[in-house]
Structures are given as C-alpha cells and as structure tokens.
Chains A and B, each alone.
Chain A
Amino acid sequence: MVRGNDRSRELILRRIEEAVGFSPPTPLPAGPAVQRDWDIEARFIEEFTRAGGVIYRAGSAEEAGKILQEIAREVGAVRAARWGSPLLDLLQVDAVLAAVGVNIVSLPADDRELYGKELDSVHMGITEAEHAIAETGTIVLLADPGRPRAVSLLPRVHVAVLPREALLPTFEDLFPRLASRGIPPSAVTFITGPSRTADIEMTPVMGVHGPQAVYIILLESSPSSQAR
C-alpha cells in the first residue's frame, strides 16, 4: 500500500496552524429548521416524479409482483439483475419475473471486467431502498455484500422497491441513522430520477451514463416487518 508523504503533511499542517492557530472546535450550534408543512408521502411522490422518475403504489406483495411484471414488459426486459434482500425474496421477484420470461442473471464473482460486462448487458436492475427523503424525492441505497452498487447503475432501467416506512422527511432525519452504524456503508447513493445531462446546447437528455428510467414500487403495507 502506498503511504502518504509525511514531510508534506507536516508542512501543510504547520502552515495552516500558522494561519489559523490550533484550537479544538466547540461544535456549531444547530442550524435553522426546515419548514415542513407537507405530507411526507405526497411530497415524496411529487418530487420524485418531477425529477423524471415513475412511481407505482402497491398495496400487497402480490400487487407489487404484478407491477414488476408490467414494468418488465413495458421496457422489454429479458434479463435482469437483483439485490439479495429479504424483502425482494418475500416479493418472490425471481418467480414473478420468470413468469413473464425474464431471467435473473447470476453475476460473475471474481472477474471485474466480466462482472461489468454482464451487468452492462442486463436490461433491468432491481434494488431495495432502505431509506427515502421526501423533501427532495430521493431514494437512498446502501451498499453491502448482497447489494452491489452497479445493479442500480449499469442496466438501462432501475427498479427500486421502497417500503412505506422507509420514508423520512428530510436529510437531517437520515444522517443520524447512517452515523449510528459507527462507520457509514462504503457507498451511500442518493438517487433522484434517471441519469441526466444537459451538456450539449443545454438540452436535457436522460440516461447518459446511468439508467434512462427509474421506477419505484412503493409498498404501502410492507411485508418486510415479518421478513426481518
């Protein structure tokens, strides 16, 4: 492993200390409160939709399955990749998709390039959002061994299942939960709508590097509480 240059470290820190001194900070007092007179669910749906995402509500696991099949048909998916999550198991994602002719691929474990190529060729990536922020219509994905980052990134279409109780009003409500795990996950990804660019003549185009379309299946009454 490469080590940092200690001499430069000392010099830079010394220069900073010469400039501002060294005093351990007393934390800043709390900042201004955000005005929050909106309904969490309505706000989430409004903001995520405005960012170009599509939301379906599902009242039951069965209904969620039907919606997933519909999305797969709509986007013409034949191959899909998914996260390993108890909630997705409970929704029987594999069987539900197999019924409409969509095959869930198993991702190559050791070869980085093969792994990327496989996911690049997949039509649809399915994940579970552990949190969502109503204020901005943002879903929050946490990386872990069963939940690789690229499943929500390389396929053309991303479908996230979002349990109703994962909705939080603002970012302030989320951060204590991330820090309470001691060290945050290696990657915490905030997603608000599809990948977009406006670099050419400021014309908006979706799907420049990430998915062209993002769907959320909002589970109104989540079966996940029983699953965990």
Chain B
Amino acid sequence: MSTVRVDFLGRSKELLQDQALQSALRRGMSRFRSLRREVVGEVPEWEALRTRAREIKIHTLKHLPYYLRLLEERVQAAGGVVHWAQDGSEAREIILDIARRGGVQAAIKSKSMTTEEIELNAFLEAEGIRVTESDLGEFILQLSGDHPSHFVVPVVHKSKEEIGALFREKLGAPELREPEQLTRFARQVLRERFLAAEMGISGANFAVAQTGTVVIVENEGNARLVTTLPRIHVAVMGIEKVVPTLEDLAVMFRILPRSATGQRITSYISLITGPKRLGERDGPEEFHLVLLDNGRTRILADPEIWEALCCIRCGACLNICPVFERTGGHAYGWVYSGPIGAVITPLYRGLEAAGELPFASSLCGACAEVCPVKIDLVRLLLVMRRRAVDAGQGVGSLERLGFALWGVVSRSPFGYRVLGRLGRFALRSMARPERSPRLPFPFSQWLESRDLPPLPKRAFRERWRRLGQGK
C-alpha cells in the first residue's frame, strides 16, 4: 500500500478544470439523485426501514464475535473454508496460496471494493496469475490502468469515445461508437475469459451467519458467472459485513438498491452457500471465504467512530455530496471516496496520509440525511477534523491564532460589536460589483475556494434593536 499523502486540494484543482469530467459528474450524480428520490418516495415506511437497517448493523457489531464464529461454523458445515486475514498482505498471501494449490493460471473477478482496498490484482499479476476484472466499468479501468472514481459507477469519468479508443488500442476492436456496441464487444471478450478462468474472486455485500451464506447484489450477471463457472470461488469480505439471519436481508434488499442506483431491486442477487453439492453440474468445487480485518477492529474499538462500520457501500452519500459532485472520486486519493471516504480513509491509512480529507466537506449534512443506515457523517467528519487539528494537521498556525483571538473577542458583547463594526466597514470599503471583495492576506486564502455573499445594509443585531426587540 502506498503511504503517499492524499493531496485533496491539489488534485481537486486539476479535476475542476476538466470540463468533460465536470459535465459527466453533474449529469451522472443528478440522475442518481432523482432516481433515488423517486424510488425512496414511494416507500411509506422508508424511515422505519433505515432505523431497522441501522439496528441490524449495530446489533451485529455489538455481538460480532458470536456472529463471526457462527458464520464460520455454518460456512464450514456447507463445505466451505474460512480464512482470517489481519491485513491486506495476509489476505493476498491466502488467496495466492489457494490459487497455487489449485494450479490456477487465470482468475476472473467481480466488483469488490475490498479487493481494491488490499490491492489484490497487481499482487496476483506479479505472481504470474492473470486477473481479469469482469464488471464492465472495472474492466475498462483495468485496461486503462486507472482506478474507480465512484463506488457504483466506477468509470463515470470516462466518455464513450475514450472507451472506444481504448478498446481499439488494447483489444483490437473495430470502430465502436455507442455504449451498446461497446458493451457487446466487451461481453464477447469477457465470455472467453470466463470460460478459461480456473478461479473466481468476488466480494460480498452481506454474509448471513445463520446459514453461512454469502450475498452478492449486482446488475450485470458477472458475479453470477464468477460464482458459477470457475472451479474455485474465493469471496473476500470485511468482518463488518455479517448479518444475523436471512430475514435481515429483506430490509437490506429494500434499502441497498434504492440508495445505490435508484432501482427498486437489482437484476440479480446471489445467495451462495458453500461449494456445489454432490451431483450438481456447475458451481465451484472449492468455496473459500476470506474474512478481512485490515484496521476494522481498530475502528470497532473506537467509541467515537465505530458506527462508520455500519456502511453498506451504497454510494448515496457520494451522489448527494456537493463536494464529490465537483471533484469526483479521484480527488480522495484512495478506494473510498465521498463523505464516507473522508471519514474512513484517515482511519484506515492514518491522519497524516489522509491530509485535508476530513475538511473536504461543507458540512451541509445531506450525506447523513440520505445514508440508509443513518451514519451520522457530520459528527464523524467533525471528530476526524478535531483529531486532525490535534495532530497538527490541516490548520496553519495563523488560522489557529486567528480562531484563538476570535474565541476571546467574540465572548464579550462589546468585543463582538466592535469587531463586527470594523469588519463591516472594512468589507464595504473593499466591495466590488458582482464579485467577492478582494481581501488582504490571510483572509484572501479563505476566499480562494469560497464566495462571500454581499453584505446587507445593516447587521442583524442592529435591525433587531431598531425593531425594538432588543431589550
């Protein structure tokens, strides 16, 4: 894993200049938002469902040792093998070992953020195992050596023209212009790879402890192929993905597709319990479940932030976030982006590596309002900001001094009034028509990425007094 510091500000400045990206993001995110609004609006018990989903996640986390042991026992009872990995490196070694023992030369993958997190592909490729991403978006990214910019539509930042050129260059495709032609072509290429692969690697949206069942939610059918055709299936999941019973899935099936893609349900949901049974014609002969910690137990032990583990990776907080809509996922520098990424990237990778990520938010709170498991993202962002400041991150000494002074002055009514008057006088003298005023350093820094609305004629306190309400 690279430990390079995320340069959110620097990256986002570049990304904001990319006109194609800007229009793709606006179009894509606003479409997701309106689809979501429509399908959420038609569920009268939506709030009760959110509350329930959160209850299920919190309950499971509180009893995680019990449910993980139960899951392990049931997977084994169904003939599967359970592996425990403390970190990405151990998970990679486990998967490589399974591949080596199975004589695997080619593996095929369905979309999994957890395998992105542990940077599995590069590792397996370096060990001589050919890995193909089969989700259409992920396949395109793999061809271009790029990274996902969104949880659900990883390739939202690429145009069909770019993808057409990529297919011509890397796959010898003819000139293809429309998404439909490009999709057909990819289907043919990927079918060949599916038929040749000895190992399928998937993630898991949920795992049911009661039955030892891994659940995969998708639209393309590639996760079905990954869990059906190859001789070996390896599912990789974070330890927080377990739920107690099959009945709990009913709630998750109602909230996840609506929050993620604005669908009432996805085309496919697969419930996989162990390898194929005696006499079955397809399905894997070996089923492996890799349970990954990689920092999750550290988050669980942190009473201020452990609720971040409730996240079901739907991407609703990305789609609604005014910051994400402008920068896209690449600005966040790691696999998890948007408001939840701004919270958990510093947790997984360290405050220093995450740079100004906890500050990449206007704190408008829209993310917390749409979160289907009611994660209080605003509170979590504030916690991470406080920790960043305590660690000497994100705030310069000048800003620190400024706020300290402000803290002293604003506590006295007299000080507040005098400072207010001064400020208004100064701002008025610097006012420019139709634009924010040009302020002297250090205030100019503040306005680099913000607009200052024009001042009203009178301050609120003044108007209040004139109305005779003040005393």
Contact status B300-A200, CB under 8 Å: no
Known A32-B49, A34-B45, A195-B219; judge A150-B265 contact (CB<8 A): no
> Is B358 an interface residue when CB atoms closer than 8 A count as contact?
no
> Is A193 an interface residue when CB atoms closer than 8 A count as contact?
yes
> Is B454 an interface residue when CB atoms closer than 8 A count as contact?
no
In the assembled complex, which residues on chain B have CB atoms less than 8 Å from the CB atom of A150?
Answer: 228-229, 281-282
In the assembled complex, which residues on chain A have CB atoms less than 8 Å from the CB atom of B228?
Answer: 149-150, 153, 187
In the assembled complex, which residues on chain A have CB atoms less than 8 Å from the CB atom of B224?
Answer: 149, 153, 189, 209-210
> Is B59 an interface residue when CB atoms closer than 8 A count as contact?
yes
Residues of A30-73 whose CB lies within 8 A of B: 31-35, 47, 50-51
A196–B83 alpha-carbon span in the complex (Å): 33
Known A4-B81, A136-B265, A150-B228; judge A201-B179 contact (CB<8 A): yes
> Is B220 an interface residue when CB atoms closer than 8 A count as contact?
yes
Contact status B220-A195, CB under 8 Å: yes
Tell me the minimal C-beta distance from A129 to chain B in angstroms. 14
Interface of A is mostly: loop
In the assembled complex, which residues on chain B have CB atoms less than 8 Å from the CB atom of A153?
Answer: 221, 224-225, 228
Tell me the minimal C-beta distance from A120 to chain B in angstroms. 6
Contact status B222-A209, CB under 8 Å: yes
Number of interface residues of A (CB under 8 A): 82
Contact status A116-B195, CB under 8 Å: yes
In the assembled complex, which residues on chain A have CB atoms less than 8 Å from the CB atom of B291?
Answer: 12
Which of B249-257, B334-342, B369-377, B444-452 forms contacts with chain A?
B249-257
Contact status B84-A193, CB under 8 Å: no
Tell me the minimal C-beta distance from A174 to chain B in angstroms. 8
Known A186-B274, A189-B224; judge A22-B66 contact (CB<8 A): yes
User: A7-30 toward B: CB 8 Å interface, digit per residue (1/0)?
Assistant: 011011101111110111101100
9 residue pairs of the A-B complex, CB under 8 angstroms, read A19-B306, A32-B45, A116-B195, A144-B277, A149-B283, A150-B228, A200-B155, A200-B158, A205-B183
Binding site for B on A (CB under 8 A): 1-5, 8-9, 11-13, 15-20, 22-25, 27-28, 31-35, 47, 50-51, 107, 109, 112-113, 115-117, 120, 136-138, 143-145, 148-150, 153, 170-172, 175-176, 178-179, 183-203, 205, 207-211
